[in-house]
Chains A and B, each alone.
Chain A
C-alpha cells in the first residue's frame, strides 16, 4: 500500500492566519482526500482533491476557507484560511489506489488555533 508523508505534524497558529498542510505519496494514486477530525469526534470528509481540476467539496466546506491544490498524482496541499479557534482539529490526508481498495492515511496534522 502507499506510504504518505504529511507535514507539519502539528502547529499552533494565531487566529486570522493561514496554514498550508502538505501530503506527499510515494506512488501515483487516483484519489486523494482531506479529512477533519474535531476533538472527540470521528472523521469528516472535507473534499476530494482532483488532479488538474478544482477539488470537490462536501456540504459545509467551501473553497475560500479550505483551498486545495493537486498539481500531480502524488502531491496535494490543504490550506486552512483565516483561522479561528473552531478550526482546531486534526487534519488528515488519505489516498485510495482504486475503487474497491482500502484507504491509507497520513499521520495527521494537529492544529491548535489560539
Chain B
C-alpha cells in the first residue's frame, strides 16, 4: 500500500532563505508526482508536476526533483518570501489500477518578514 510522508511537518524561516521540503513514498510504481500549495481554508494550487520519466521540473523560484528508485522528491524554494507562507502538499499517482492520488500530510511553511 502506497504511503506518502512529508518532512518536516512545519517549518519557520526568515525571509530570503533557500529551503527544501521533502516528500517520500513507499512504492516506486508511480505515473507522476505533483506538488501543491494550499492557503488556509482554501483549495489546492498546482505548483509542479513531474512525470515518472522526468528528474526535475522548474517554475520560477521553485524546483522539484524526483528520484523514483529511492522514493523521494524534494521541492526547493529559492529566496523565500512571506507570500510563500502556506501548506505544501505532495501527491503521487500510482500505476496500479486506480487514478486516485495519494497525498502526503503536508509541510506548513511560515516565512518571516
Contact = CB atoms under 8 A, between A and B. Distances in A.
Interface in B6-54: 31-32, 34, 36, 41-46, 49, 51
B42 A107 contact: yes
B89 A99 contact: no
Nearest to A58: B100
Contact of B31 (A94, A100, A110): A100
A102 B41 contact: no
**Secondary structure call for the B interface:** strand
- Category for how many chain A residues contact B: 20 to 34
Interface residues of B, number: 21
**Secondary structure call for the A interface:** strand
Interface of B: 31-32, 34, 36, 41-46, 49, 51, 89, 91, 99-101, 103-106
Interface of A: 1, 6, 10, 31, 33, 41-43, 45, 48, 58, 90, 92, 94, 96, 99-108, 110
